[in-house]
Chain A
Amino acid sequence: QKEVEQDPGPLSVPEGAIVSLNCTYSNSAFQYFMWYRQYSRKGPELLMYTYSSGNKEDGRFTAQVDKSSKYISLFIRDSQPSDSATYLCAMSDAGGTSYGKLTFGQGTILTVHP
Chain B
Amino acid sequence: GAVVSQHPSRVICKSGTSVKIECRSLDFQATTMFWYRQFPKQSLMLMATSNEGSKATYEQGVEKDKFLINHASLTLSTLTVTSAHPEDSSFYICSARDRDQPQHFGDGTRLSIL
Q: Do A and B come from one complex?
A: no
Chain A residues close to B by CB (< 8 Å): none
Chain B residues close to A by CB (< 8 Å): none
